Amino acid sequence: MAEFTQGDIVKVKGFREPFLIVSNNAFIKSTNVFHVSPILKNIAEGPLHINIKGEKNTGGTVICEQVKLIDPAARGCHVTDRISYGQLMNVSDAVQGMFEYD
């Protein structure tokens, strides 16, 4: 299996838009699956909609509330780009914030 890491932008067979891997590396390594959120164009930024730009200029808005579990072996995934650590922290904070208690 190809190596996938948190912060990778991946294409998934059958989907037009790219996805951002939001699972941490320990989860990916232990399960061989990962969680992704879609990256869409022309979506306004907001608390759960984080604008990103990859190292190879893949850009858009990560829709953090749309977290999906992907088995890359079954779904035909491949890495196309990667975001910076600072952007990853913003996305991770948004995703984690959905599950914090009041």
User: How far is C-alpha 56 from the geometric centre of its chain's CA atoms?
Assistant: 15
Rounded to a whole number of angstroms, the CA Rg of the chain reads: 13
Structural domains for the chain: 8-96 (2.30.30.110)
pLDDT in tens, the chain (102 residues): 579 999 999 999 999 999 999 999 999 999 999 999 999 999 999 999 999 999 999 999 999 999 999 999 999 999 999 999 999 999 999 999 999 887
